Amino acid sequence: MSMLVAVARAKKDAKALSHAVNCDVVSLGGIRSAEDVDLSIFERRIPIFFFGRDEIELAKEIENKVRKITPIYQVVITSKKAVRHTRMEELREAFEMAKAKLRLGFKFDGVFLFSNKNELGIEINPDFDAYFVIGKGFVENTRKVFGVNVEEGNLIVRKLMNEEWIYVPELKAIVSKKIGERLRVIMHREDVEPKKADIRKMIERNRSWLERLEEIAIDFIQRNVEGDAGVPFSGGKDSTATLILAKKALGEIKALYVKVSHEMPYTEDYVEEVCERLNVELIKSEVRFDIERFGLPTHTNRWCTKLKMDGLERIATDTLIVGDREAESRIRRERGEIEFRVAKEIFPIKYWSGCMVQLFVLMNGLELHPLYYEGFYRLGCTICPSLSDWERILLEKIGQS
């Protein structure tokens, strides 16, 4: 049973959906009224309901009922009278957009709140992610490098090619952090003043959403772990959130840390501190990057990735609980919730946004890796070909160029 489930009214609609989407598909048994179905079965799942345009009234009834059970869902209305008559391409696109809306829907009420409705009118795209400005260093670096005034708790929507749209909550600026190019400001509304948000208040206002995500992920982990379990733990926000979930789900868990010779600053100390705080066994595997032999990694020659995977394989457990998310790349989005590569791999935060990860880690009493407070979106190695000028400037600032 998967975390995400596509739901149709009738069996024939569900059959059509099953050919278009990569998740479990169920029917509501051909119901004509929301009173005829028990929606509590979706309490620990993420349902995406599909209805034809002739079923809009039923869709409204279902939505009114399901929102009392879970805040995390989507409702899709197709262009045809019934789902079974809808083209596969339309169903696939609607499915991907619905998943994206789960992580990109926001409203603003003093702080940014997760929402199913996207009241801010943010562009929805399966390749986009979102994260918050957290940390005084992040604020200062954005002002210094881009000349854009932001405050903690502001929202960044990360689009293609490292283009970032900054909401304060109005759209304040668009900046480019494209790899291989100079940083630039594409648009800047100097008349828009940013509103600072208390991060603790933001966590509390989003707590019900975060706790439901936690319940879904923990249930998924408990159902799918086989044998000895470990979390590949890099010190990044995603693997930190995953380690917290695995600890809560299983009690006993191993953190598997592949330490590379060109590690980001603070990482090893952070990894050790988190494992100590969570009372988790830490297992290390060290990997040396031989630049003299292989040269610097490039986008077409990522020899470093293979070495890291080899390092993980040396310490891999029967089941790996991995912190990959769909918003990070198309490749990760196309993977299932369970894969078999180095070992059995499961992905409990697959549908989360960067924002959800940030708040979840903080909600659980841990700090993020120090580099996130300076403005990093993701962590890698200091020789990673995916570093932009933005990350290089931040590394120079702390003397780690």
Question: What residue ranges do the domains of the chain occupy?
Answer: 4-104, 110-198, 206-397
Give the Cα-Cα-Cα angle 339, 275, 254 (nearest 5 degrees): 40
> What's the full length of the chain, in residues?
401
DSSP string, 370-382: GGGGGT-SS--BT
How far, in Å, CA of 152 to CA of 204, rounded? 16
Phi, psi at 357, each rounded to 5°: -65, -50
pLDDT band at 2 (very low <50, low <70, confident <90, very high): very high
How far, in Å, CA of 90 to CA of 20, rounded? 9
How far, in Å, CA of 311 to CA of 285, rounded? 6
Task: Pick 206-397's CATH classification: 1.10.357.10, 3.40.50.620, 3.30.450.20, 3.40.50.300.
Answer: 3.40.50.620
Mean pLDDT, residues 251-261 taken together? 95
**Treating both helix axes as pointing N-terminal to C-terminal, what angle do 354-363 and 237-250 enclose, rounded to 10 degrees?**
50
Helix (H) or strand (E) holding 240: helix 237-250
Lowest mean pLDDT among 44-48, 204-208, 380-384: 380-384
Residue from 213, 256, 250 nearest 235 by CA: 256
Per CATH, domain 4-104 is 3.90.1720.10: no
Residue 74: strand pairing partners: 48
Residue from 123, 121, 124, 142 nearest 132 by CA: 142
Q: Using an 8 Å Cβ cutoff, are 267 and 235 in contact?
A: yes
* Segment 187-221, tens digit of pLDDT: 999 999 999 999 999 999 999 999 999 999 999 99
What is the reported pLDDT for 400?
57
Lowest mean pLDDT among 128-132, 240-244, 293-297, 361-365: 293-297
* Segment 77-110, tens digit of pLDDT: 999 999 999 999 999 999 999 999 999 999 999 9
Q: What burial class does residue 298 get, using C-beta atoms within 10 Å of its C-beta: 0-12 exposed, 13-18 middle, 19+ buried? A: exposed
* Segment 135-171, tens digit of pLDDT: 999 999 999 999 999 999 999 999 999 999 999 999 9
User: What's the chain's Rg over C-alpha atoms?
Assistant: 22
Residues 6+ apart with CB under 8 A from 127: 159, 160, 327, 330
